[in-house]
Amino acid sequence: MAMPGIADAKLAPGFADPGRDSQRVFRAALAAMAEPGRIATLDLRLQPTPPLGLAQSALALTLLDFEVALWLDGPVAPAADYLRFHTGVRLAARPEDADYCLIAGPLPPLSSFKAGSEEEPEAGATLIVAVAGLLGDGPWRLKGPGLPHEGRLGVGGLPADFAAQWAQNQRAFPRGIDLFLCAGSRLVGLPRTLTIEG
């Protein structure tokens, strides 16, 4: 059913097989958070709506629903109607009010986002961020739960001080935010428990 005020004829379709595809993406998202730094590639028959890439679109269609609030940065704002139609998500005016944030432009300071509380750490936001590229053997050294050995990762397009910002986020545990980094059909998870060096 179309959302009021949305002309669904102008919107791109969602998943070809919503039940099966959303389960596949959800399993990939869980695995990405359980094995930080492991780059996954989504193999889906999904035509992402511009300006979202395939991984960003797939995660949004899977994780968003009418119970959560979503903030869109400027570059992905044109996808608002598509996301509202396919997921029923509510839009937040400010990043600090959102449960999920879709970002394709410069990443705002991590302190801009909802970090939850000691009593409700699960209220921290999840960011789904488009990046310029992901490299499995990059300069970042990753340590933490889910990594029996030190992992390596390279990411293009994040702020130069991202590692320092992430260290502050990690020290706030159990409060904090979680990230999915997306490049085309590829994604990687960065849970708040992860330590990034380098």
Here the CATH number for the domain that contains residue 37 is 3.40.50.11310
- Assigned domain for 9 exists: no
Phi, psi of 67 (to 5 degrees): -90, -10
| pTM of this structure | 0.93
8-state DSSP, 105? S
- Assigned domain for 148 exists: yes
Whole-number Å distance between alpha carbons of 175 and 52: 28
Whole-number Å distance between alpha carbons of 61 and 56: 9
- Assigned domain for 86 exists: yes
- Tokens representing residue 134 in the block: 């992901």
- Assigned domain for 78 exists: yes
- Judge whether 172 and 115 are in contact, CB under 8 Å: yes
For 143, the domain range is 15-197
| Residue 64 CB burial class (10 angstroms; 0-12, 13-18, ≥19) | buried
Cis peptide before 51 (omega within 30 of 0): yes
- Assigned domain for 118 exists: yes
Mode of pairing for the β-strands spanning 126-130 and 100-103: parallel
- Assigned domain for 39 exists: yes
- Assigned domain for 4 exists: no
What is the residue-level pLDDT of the chain in tens, covering all 198 positions? 444 444 444 688 999 999 999 999 999 999 999 999 999 999 999 988 889 999 999 999 999 999 999 999 999 999 999 999 999 999 999 999 999 999 999 999 999 999 999 999 999 999 999 999 999 989 999 999 888 889 999 999 999 999 999 999 999 999 999 999 999 999 999 999 999 998
- Judge whether 22 and 133 are in contact, CB under 8 Å: no
pLDDT at 178: 98
- Assigned domain for 182 exists: yes
Task: Provide the number of structural domains found in the chain.
Answer: 1
